[in-house]
Structure 1
Amino acid sequence: MTTGPAPAPRTPAGGAGLAALITAPDTALIALDYDGTLSPIVSRPADAMPAPGAVEALRALAARVGTCAIITGRPVDALLELTGLANGNGERAGLENLTVLGQYGLQRWDGATGATTSPEPLPGIATVRSQLPEVLRDAPPGVTVEDKTQALVIHVRRAANPDAALGALAPALRRLAEENGLEAAPGKRVLELRPPNHDKGRALRELVEERTARSVLVAGDDLGDLPAFDAVDELRGLGIAGLTVCSDGPEVPAALRERADLVVDGPLGVVTLLNLLAARIG
């Protein structure tokens, strides 16, 4: 495990959040994004394996803090398969304090029980699924659809000109989402058609209230993590210390980088930070 001092946040509020986490870990909540934060960004979502040491760092930290959570847009089952956090035999040693919130909080897996809960998809999802082939009929090669059951994600990363492809497709996709009671949420060279009013900010606030956390660390790398950063600001106003962390990289939105109390060098930087925190807590 990496040892040494944890990196210093660049804001006083972030410094207070880090101090609270270290001095009172039993009431701390560590909330982490997956893609781009615990795993490098890749062309195919199915290939997004955890960064070296990420799962081990999660296990170490989950054993030392009140709650460790992964809050992701991915379905819970896909996340668990990629990380191996819950294998076929149900082994969950050291994961009692770990929670996975998939689909921005629509789905949930608890390490203490190994149980997954998931609602029925909104009716609009089935309609959008059936209409997407026609909407994407003239899309350039490399545009793909990821079906998350609760949401549908249009990926343009493998198109010859990803930004142009997304720009051309976005108006029709936004209309399709709106007509069917969904929202179209942007991300890194993706547009996700998903149930409205479900984002990482809401998921974080609900988990903080449930666990009565007194300090929060949030780490992310994309526009979808900004609502969680907003939630940290709101929680600070309620007396809950907070630290926001940007997992930096060439595609990270400037708005997220600028908002972060602490910027680390991609998923490997996040792993290093988690190991340093676990070592400091002891």
Structure 2
Amino acid sequence: MDPLPTPKTQPGRDGLAALLAKPTAAIIGLDFDGTLAPIVADPEQARAHPEAVPALAALAPKVASVAVVTGRPAGVAVRYGGFAGVPGLEHLTVLGHYGAERWDAVTGTVTAPAPDPGVAAVRAELPGVLDRAGAWPGTWIEEKGRAVAVHTRRAEDPQAAFEALRGPLADLATRHGLIVEPGRMVLELRPPGMDKGVALAEYVRGMGAESVLYAGDDLGDLPAFAAVEELRADGVPGLLVCSGSTEVTELAERADMVVNGPAGVVNLLRALAAQLD
């Protein structure tokens, strides 16, 4: 097992020190896709890294809580992560759909408000919008319940398809009171008002946490990074971790620590659990 890395910034070192000094008051926040699970061409085939659940089960009992913060439906993240019924994960919570849904390991149930009607309207119009935007073979639609996403990763030119669709999808979203969240070769249309930053900050404050670690890999994780920075300004130490990739560099530039994708995140979780022993 690799040793516990040293953050490259002073705020990050302060955040790690606070976590290690009082782990029972610390929150570990983690994105799912690209952080706990490798990015794959078909998101329905995404699964947590094989060692992610054992690493989480070793760490979770030693901290206040582990929160998986994801744009996926909470139940889907639980299923793809293999989180249900695992000894040691009683302190695990999944904040799905950017916090609109919540699954707690203790109860095994998902709580959520009613879906936004704008999502159904967008879903109905989306095929026509894509047709009018031009033929992009390989581009496909992912149904996400409270959101809908358009993926371009399997197109012949993924980046060109991504850029060509941004404008039409933004117009469609605006007409129905939604927003477009760009990611790694994906454009997600979802209701405004919730993002990973809002979800993480509300969870950390609701738990009365005294430190927080957040790890992510994509543009949708930038609000969570900003939330940790705001918490730091309010006196809650925090550590920002980037699950590194060559597709998104913005997080690496703001992170206190960069690890090598989901395998690196797993090693970090293992090292934290070992240090807390």
Determine if the TM-score, normalized by the shorter chain, exceeds 0.5.
Answer: yes
Which residue number corresponds to residue 207 of structure 1?
203
Which residue number corresponds to residue 188 of structure 2?
192
Residues 125-153 of structure 1, C-alpha deviations (whole Å, 9 max, x = no match): 11001001101123311101111110000
Q: Answer whether contact 2:215 2:241 (CA < 8 A) is retained.
A: yes
Which residue number corresponds to residue 36 of structure 2?
38
- Determine if the alignment matches structure 1 residue 101 to structure 2 residue 99: no
Distance in 2 (alpha carbons) for counterparts of 1:161 and 1:92: 41
1:78 shift after superposition: 1.1
Amino acid at match of 2:266: V
Distance in 2 (alpha carbons) for counterparts of 1:120 and 1:141: 34
Q: Answer whether contact 1:139 1:165 (CA < 8 A) is retained.
A: no
Q: Answer whether contact 1:92 1:114 (CA < 8 A) is retained.
A: no
- Determine if the alignment matches structure 1 residue 116 to structure 2 residue 104: no
Superposition misfits of 4+ residues, deviation over 3 angstroms:
none
Amino acid at match of 2:209: A
Q: Answer whether contact 2:95 2:103 (CA < 8 A) is retained.
A: yes
- Determine if the alignment matches structure 1 residue 248 to structure 2 residue 244: yes
Which residue number corresponds to residue 19 of structure 2?
21
TM-score by length of 1: 0.95
SS of 2:8's equivalent? coil
Alignment partner of 1:127 out of 117, 121, 130: 121
1:246 shift after superposition: 0.4
TM-score by length of 2: 0.97
Distance in 2 (alpha carbons) for counterparts of 1:105 and 1:53: 25
Q: Answer whether contact 2:4 2:268 (CA < 8 A) is retained.
A: yes
Alignment partner of 1:12 out of 10, 29, 32: 10
Matches for 1:1-282 after TM superposition, within 5 Å:
2=1, 5-86=3-84, 91-137=85-131, 138-251=134-247, 253-282=248-277
Distance in 2 (alpha carbons) for counterparts of 1:132 and 1:13: 44
1:118 shift after superposition: 1.6
State, as a whole percentage, how many aligned pairs show the same letter.
53
Gaps of 5+ in 1: none
Residues 142-168 of structure 1, C-alpha deviations (whole Å, 9 max, x = no match): 101111110000000000001111111
Q: Answer whether contact 2:92 2:104 (CA < 8 A) is retained.
A: yes
Amino acid at match of 1:281: L
Amino acid at match of 2:93: T
1:5 shift after superposition: 3.5
SS of 2:62's equivalent? coil
How many pairs align?
A: 275
Q: Answer whether contact 2:23 2:63 (CA < 8 A) is retained.
A: yes
Amino acid at match of 1:114: G
Distance in 2 (alpha carbons) for counterparts of 1:29 and 1:139: 45
Residues 9-36 of structure 1, C-alpha deviations (whole Å, 9 max, x = no match): 0001000100111110000000000111
Q: Answer whether contact 1:27 1:213 (CA < 8 A) is retained.
A: yes
Distance in 2 (alpha carbons) for counterparts of 1:185 and 1:267: 22
Residues 201-254 of structure 1, C-alpha deviations (whole Å, 9 max, x = no match): 000110011100000000000100110110111001111000000001221x22
1:95 shift after superposition: 1.9
Distance in 1 (alpha carbons) for counterparts of 2:82 and 2:33: 15
Q: Answer whether contact 1:92 1:112 (CA < 8 A) is retained.
A: no
Distance in 2 (alpha carbons) for counterparts of 1:49 and 1:254: 23
Q: Answer whether contact 2:48 2:82 (CA < 8 A) is retained.
A: no
Distance in 2 (alpha carbons) for counterparts of 1:80 and 1:209: 23
SS of 1:136's equivalent? helix
Residues 21-55 of structure 1, C-alpha deviations (whole Å, 9 max, x = no match): 11100000000001111111100001111112011
